[in-house]
Amino acid sequence: MIPKVFKEVIDLGDGREITLETGKLAKQAHGSVVVQSGKCMLLCTVVSNYHQADVDFLPLTVDYREKFAAAGRYPGGFFKREARPSDGEVLTMRLVDRVLRPLFPKDYHSETQVMIQLMSHDDDVMPDAMAGLAASAAIQLSDFPFECAISEVRVGRINGEFIINPSRAQLDESDIDMVIGASADSVMMVEGEMDEISEEEMTEAIKAAHEAIKVQCAAQVRLAEAFGKKEVREYEPAVEDADLEKKIHDMVYDKTYAVAKAGSAKHERGQAFSDIKEEVFNSFSEEEQAELGKLIHKYVAKANKAAIRDLTLNEGLRLDGRKTIDIRPIWCEVDYLPSVHGSSIFTRGETQALATVTLGTSREANQIDMPSFEGEETFYLHYNFPPFSTGEARPIRGTSRREVGHGNLAQRALKGMVPEDCPYTVRVVSEVLESNGSSSMATVCAGTMAMMDAGVQMKKPVSGIAMGLISEGEKYAVLSDILGDEDHLGDMDFKVTGTADGITACQMDIKVKGLSYEILVNALKQARDGRLHILKHLTDTIETPRDDVKEYAPKMVTTRIANEYIGALIGPGGKVIQELQKETGTTIVINEDPETEEGIVEILGTGQEGIDAVLAKIDSITFKPEVGSVYEVKVIKMLDFGAVVEYIEAPGNEVLLHVSELAWERTENVSDVVNMGDVFDVKYFGVDKRTRKEKVSRKAILPKPEGYVERPPRNDRNRDNRGRDNRNKDRKRD
């Protein structure tokens, strides 16, 4: 028997709908929901253990997976099974996690798992835009202690009109691609890329998205009420001790305030804070330490945070002595690594990124193979964050989700500035060597300079800055270029990248409820001032891209050939192209243009001589003489009935020069007129209708000898002289 199903429908306002359904699938999960738009269906399940884990944080796992069966496809690779998540799936997990995590109680430490699966795909629906809605709807159907319903939507803009959850085709026409996460009351997360828009335009896009999110939150509440809203589970709350908290606050606050106001360096400041913490801890007896140790550490951290925030709000000062708008000292360098195609160092305070650029053919494009999207990237960026960058020693177990997310943000910041006609596949790698505040923005700056150093003709240079916000009632302070220590102290952390003319990418996590749009715009404008300050350091180091790639970097030439010549260039079993690559020291890649069916030939080589040789070979293969034109040829073979000649401008292209076309006079022997290796001109007459072969003539461009008599055409000759007519008569008598 099919159980009772509960549904809610969300109208997107343009004929599209999103349906929330529960009661049919995965009923043993603590909450489950199917979200559908068009033929796209997501199943989200949530489970949370009923006992608290022995940790001081929320062990939340958000997992998003796309099933290949959803698109009627098989997974790639030897094992036909979904394996580790792709970068696209990891990025969706991060989008959902960042909105959900702050809404659980701080003292809720039960292991919690949110699983979102793409079960059916629709080419006109991007599933990642509905993942946040699915997660929140499932939680609303559970008994988890969770503050309120949230949702996430993607917003695009085409011809000035905002579109909620655009299709991929619409997104290609849009100048904005942002995902916004929010509750009905407050915006909580923003991430996306833009085509150099203003701060006000970005704010308008957020407002449009928030209005749609309010509708989706209301639908979740209605679904939960219809299904039967569960009582929130009871859990063992964290132990609190108000007297102990006040005692520790009094012991810590003033000392922390003094250290923070001193404006010291990271290690010196960290040691001072550690000494305060140790002094407070040692002031308690061993019995108290054993019993209250966790609370002591917790209240010390809380007092630390309060003191540092108050210092900034009251005096406009920060941990390293800067004022709120100050940027740390910056130094830059390009062409640091001698053998790479492009390199740069960007150092801002105690954050340093070393970026490299590698140039390649379309064969090196990054292949994307997901059920919801197949394609390739000819510009991509990888970000590495080794433990030594923060003075730590810990095991490295593959690329972390954080590295994927930070690399993607930097890639989105830069990719719009790569020209459409860039012939190369461009790979940027950022190695973070020091970190104390926004290594992702250092990656954007280093990436810009490295690309310019490599000769990538960027439209405009891009810089990035990490900002913070501290607010208390009516008072607030926006912090430019935040430190690592300031990252978790504020009420909003946001990273903004852009050119001198507008924003290209952003990432925001907003922790304060009801943040006014006025404060948001002011913060974005302060970020713009910081971006421009940093941008000047970049352009002072390298003002414009190099005119050409470096001497030891590969040069790329792209040409097109008709489809009919692709086979001739490749040769049987690839023989021609392989030998050509070996002889010229180049890499040759041939792709077919699906629209024109032409062959796009990419030639990559460090030596111009080799590239020229490949181009000459292509010209030779694709050479087509024009009727009536004169060409220089060379004799390459002597025959009884003529000479085989090769076009000088197209080596390898041969044609027969018949003995009758050598000279006006009757020629008995070919060698009487030409010899091997002779070079002379011939006229091209096209394909002879009688022989169906190409015809060229030497005599046609020579003057006729004096007294020369043209021989009559074959049909007008006296055939009796050959005795053929007499033979015909004899046959008739028989």
For residue 47, report the phi and psi dihedrals to the nearest 5 degrees. Answer: -140, 140
Per the CB < 8 A criterion, the answer to whether 283 and 247 are in contact is no
Q: Which residue has the higher pLDDT, 80 or 455?
A: 455
Length of the chain equals 734
**CA-based end-to-end distance of the chain:** 100
Instruction: Write down the pLDDT at residue 650.
Output: 83
For residue 425, the number of C-alpha atoms closer than 13 Å in the C-beta half-sphere is 16
Contacts of residue 84, Cβ cutoff 8 Å, sequence gap at least 6: none
pLDDT at residue 724 is higher than 70: no
Q: Give pLDDT tens digits for 605-618.
A: 988 889 999 998 88
Q: Give pLDDT tens digits for 234-272.
A: 998 888 899 999 999 999 999 999 999 998 888 888 899
pLDDT at residue 167 is higher than 90: yes
Q: What CA–CA distances, in Å, run from 217 to 131, 150, 405? A: 14, 6, 26
Instruction: Write down the pLDDT at residue 620.
Output: 86
Q: Give pLDDT tens digits for 309-359.
A: 999 999 999 998 999 999 999 999 999 999 999 999 999 999 999 999 999
Per the CB < 8 A criterion, the answer to whether 194 and 415 are in contact is no
Per the CB < 8 A criterion, the answer to whether 154 and 92 are in contact is no
pLDDT at residue 278 is higher than 50: yes
Instruction: Write down the pLDDT at residue 214.
Output: 96
**What is the average pLDDT score of the chain?**
91
CA–CA separation, 638 and 629 (whole Å): 24
pLDDT band at 719 (very low <50, low <70, confident <90, very high): very low
- Compute and round to an integer the Cα radius of gyration of the chain: 37
Instruction: Write down the pLDDT at residue 603.
Output: 92
Instruction: Write down the pLDDT at residue 697.
Output: 92
Q: Give pLDDT tens digits for 299-312.
A: 999 999 999 999 99
pLDDT at residue 716 is higher than 60: no
Q: Are strands 379-384 and 679-687 parallel, antiparallel or unpaired?
A: unpaired
Q: Can you tell me the mean pLDDT for 26-54?
A: 95
Instruction: Write down the pLDDT at residue 717.
Output: 47
Instruction: Write down the pLDDT at residue 238.
Output: 82
CB environment 613-644: b (16+ within 10 A), e (fewer): bbeebbebbbeebeeeeebebbbeeeeeebbe
Instruction: Write down the pLDDT at residue 624.
Output: 85
Q: Can you tell me the mean pLDDT for 269-282?
A: 91
CA–CA separation, 359 and 553 (whole Å): 8
Known binder of ligand: residue 487?
A: yes
Instruction: Write down the pLDDT at residue 33.
Output: 98
Q: Give pLDDT tens digits for 367-424.
A: 988 888 888 999 999 999 999 998 889 888 889 999 999 999 999 999 999 999 899 9
Share of the chain above pLDDT 70, in %: 96
For residue 471, report the phi and psi dihedrals to the nearest 5 degrees. Answer: -135, 150
Instruction: Write down the pLDDT at residue 705.
Output: 82
CA–CA separation, 704 and 181 (whole Å): 88
Q: Can you tell me the mean pLDDT for 652-660?
A: 87
Instruction: Write down the pLDDT at residue 711.
Output: 66
Known binder of ligand: residue 310?
A: no
pLDDT band at 489 (very low <50, low <70, confident <90, very high): confident
